[in-house]
Homo-oligomer: A and B are copies of this chain.
Amino acid sequence: MKEVFAEVITIGDEILYGQIVDTNSQWISAELDKIGIRTARQTSVGDSRQAIFSALQAAEALAQVIIITGGLGPTKDDITKHTLAEYFGSELVFDPTVLENIERLFKPRGREVTETNRQQAYVLAGCKVLQNSIGTAPGMWLERNGKVFISLPGVPHEMKKLMSEQVLPALQTHFQTPHVIHYFIKTINIPESTLSDLIQQWELALPAHLKLAYLPRPGQVRLRLTGIGADKEALQAEMNQQVEQLLSIIGKYVYGYGEEEIETKVGALLLQQGKTIAVAESCTGGYIAHQFTQHAGASRYFLGGIVAYSNQVKIAQLGVSAETLAQYGAVSEPVARQMAENVRLRYEASIGISTTGIAGPDGGTPEKPVGTVWIAYADGNQTIAKKLTLTQERMLNIMLTTNALLDLVRQQLCS
């Protein structure tokens, strides 16, 4: 089995000015890695003919797969397409199917196809057009001397869709890449270093063709076990066995596998058990509701929520007692309990959950410093409240609170 190498070229002055972090390179490299293609280099260049041309030359000398993103939007600084044409000694030709795609996109929105849009329908002669179902710039697949060049729009969600649906499957077929299997084991509420200590023995005993990676996010660590092999079924069986061993060590911290997120896991458990949920948010300010509702089908178990940012709203909309607020303050166990219990009753939900805390960076006191958070869970039989002591970072605190509360719900639903 021959190794296949790739170069990822991202184009954009905004990257070189340091105005945006280029996340496309990382995402593309990670996806290529999953199908057994190794990224040999990542290069970012500006919106300039010469820079793009040189990058293409260097890439062709190094790699078999060259993926280029950016510089395909409908504006003046988009010279990628012209430079590609020059590089291939080719020309740009009008492709009516691209224009049809743009028209199809614009029609329901009542938008008119402009001359600039029409220019986007010009593609390199001889390329395979990768139709973009959610944007106006198409992707292009070109081959020369056994090397594959793929040009994609720089807008991340468009690039990802084209990669996942068209480019990655085509690369697998084209290069007959080895079998690569990834298992994602998703843990929650355990620090990376603790996790690493717990599974050290198991990890050290892994054979060379199985590799473990730690992918941390706020409040979660995803473990990725990657196996490479010629025999797919043997590899699968071997990995199942290893994952079983792993689960015997850290099972209680594992909430899910693969693409599952903690909120969809909670959603699936609620659906299974015929239950519904409502949320009363203070410090998370709508973020938990958004976690649920970003996924299609959330309406089957998520009834809604109340964002109670002021005490007034906590009293009027959630029926939190004014005395309790005065006596204990908004960030307190009794207030968290009342919020969870009352949102459950008011929304007629099976479960009510709540958050109240000091997200920061201001608003801390010596007794209740920034990062002090109370969360609560109520299901009619019992109410559980928990105090969290988090960080100085506002957005991080919002995310950590969300993870802690969703995991509390998961544990209750699993118990």
Contact = CB atoms under 8 A, between A and B. Distances in A.
Interface of A: 13-23, 25-33, 38-47, 51, 55, 58, 73-77, 108-111, 114-117, 134, 136, 155, 157, 182, 191-194, 196-197, 203, 211-216, 224, 226, 278-279, 281, 284-290, 292-299, 302-310, 312-313, 316-317, 346-348, 359-362, 369, 371, 389-396, 398
Contacts of A297: 362
B303 A309 contact: yes
With most chain B CB atoms within 10 A of its CB, the pick from A303, A307, A317, A361 is A307
A300 B164 CA distance: 43
Contact of A215 (B14, B25, B32, B293): B14
Given A13-B226, A18-B30, A155-B216, 15 more contacts: A13-B211, A18-B28, A20-B26, A22-B25, A73-B214, A75-B196, A136-B193, A281-B289, A286-B287, A286-B288, A286-B305, A289-B289, A289-B290, A297-B362, A316-B347
A92 B304 CA distance: 53
B213 A13 contact: yes
A285 B298 contact: yes
A26 B18 contact: yes
A307 B305 contact: yes
Contacts of A46: 40
A278 to B, nearest CB: 8
Contact of A398 (B47, B115, B294): B294
